[in-house]
């Protein structure tokens, strides 16, 4: 049976937040208070829509935005991990579940020659309109009170696994790799044979530690394997493939 690798994107695949990195395409690499002050908690996608509208208003073309996004640094060891995955597609599937947007993710991975490693991207849909502006939409509707209004990663993962199972594909093991608070919810749909891999020192790692310290109350079923670099993840993946 195949292994499924599930990745968050910001501060996981790449070592920065791509929604912050995009500001570098502006002449002064800063946003005015009139834009920054419009952010409201839980409404990041709407805010990024206004950011991209402002970038368009400054005459920044999509090609310029893409060239800047292609300079975002990857987390140490991540290119090697994705290269390994792309070379082992017969035994490893890979999906990205991110609250960024589809266009940024595709640009970054294509620019680095790593796009072939990914089977599917689940993120907020982005497109360039007739005026040359990027537009963003919510990924989906959901009823999870713990997640941002535009995406519940648990719902994404559950739907993906269910659709695969309906097609006769059941994974031998699932690895979920992330860093943030919105990566906790999907960890609860993993089984005991799976693994949730939080980046050491980041929010997800701290949240899982608190759950564990609460004497297992509400803790996840999957094995928790923290990581510092993607080299750690690659070793876990190789060990899992060898043990099958």
Grade residue 110 by pLDDT with cuts at 50, 70 and 90. very high
Beta-carbon contacts of residue 213 (< 8 Å; ≥ 6 apart)? none
Tell me the two tokens of residue 201. Answer: 């020192």
Q: Is 179 annotated as a binding residue?
A: yes
> Residue 215: what pLDDT?
60
Which of left, alpha, beta for 76 (phi over 0: left; psi -120 to 50: alpha)? beta
Q: Is 183 annotated as a binding residue?
A: no
Higher pLDDT, 134 or 88: 88
> Residue 41: what pLDDT?
81
pLDDT, mean of residues 136-153: 75
Average pLDDT value for the chain = 92
Q: Model confidence over 206-237: pLDDT tens digits?
A: 999 988 887 655 578 999 999 999 999 999 99
Q: Model confidence over 9-67: pLDDT tens digits?
A: 999 999 999 999 999 999 999 999 999 999 988 788 889 999 999 999 999 999 999 99
Give percent of the chain above pLDDT 90: 79
pLDDT, mean of residues 166-183: 95
The DSSP output letter for 70 is T
Give percent of the chain above pLDDT 70: 96
First and final CA of the chain: distance in angstroms? 8
pLDDT, mean of residues 116-145: 84
Q: Are 129 and 54 in contact (CB under 8 A)?
A: no
Grade residue 130 by pLDDT with cuts at 50, 70 and 90. confident
> Residue 158: what pLDDT?
95
Higher pLDDT, 126 or 80: 80
Q: Is 99 annotated as a binding residue?
A: yes
What domains can you pick out in the chain, each with its CATH number?
A: 3-15+74-123+141-243 (3.40.50.1000)
Active-site residues: which are they?
8, 10
Grade residue 3 by pLDDT with cuts at 50, 70 and 90. very high
Q: Is 205 annotated as a binding residue?
A: no
Q: Are 6 and 97 in contact (CB under 8 A)?
A: yes
The DSSP output letter for 146 is T
The DSSP output letter for 14 is B
């Amino acid at each position: 049976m195949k292994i499924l690798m599930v990745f968050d994107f910001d501060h996981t695949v790449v070592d920065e937040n791509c929604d912050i990195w995009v500001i570098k395409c502006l002449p002064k690499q800063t946003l005015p208070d009139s834009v920054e002050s419009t952010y409201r908690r839980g409404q990041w996608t709407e805010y990024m829509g206004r950011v991209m509208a402002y970038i368009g208003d400054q005459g920044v073309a999509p090609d310029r935005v893409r060239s800047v996004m292609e300079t975002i640094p990857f987390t140490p060891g991540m290119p090697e991990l994705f290269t390994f995955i792309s070379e082992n597609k017969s035994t490893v599937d890979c999906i990205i579940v991110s609250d960024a947007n589809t266009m940024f993710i595709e640009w970054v991975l294509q620019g680095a020659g790593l796009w072939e490693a990914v089977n599917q991207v689940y993120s907020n849909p982005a497109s360039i309109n007739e005026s040359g502006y990027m537009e963003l939409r919510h990924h989906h509707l959901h009823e999870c009170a713990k997640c941002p209004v535009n995406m519940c990663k648990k719902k994404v993962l559950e739907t993906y696994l269910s659709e695969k199972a309906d097609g006769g594909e059941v994974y031998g093991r699932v690895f979920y790799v992330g860093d943030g608070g919105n990566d906790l919810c999907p960890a609860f749909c993993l089984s005991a044979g799976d693994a949730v891999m939080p980046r050491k020192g980041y929010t997800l790692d701290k949240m899982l530690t608190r759950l564990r310290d609460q004497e297992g109350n509400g803790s996840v079923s999957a094995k928790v394997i923290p990581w510092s670099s993607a080299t750690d993840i690659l070793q876990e993946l190789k060990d899992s493939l060898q043990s099958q």
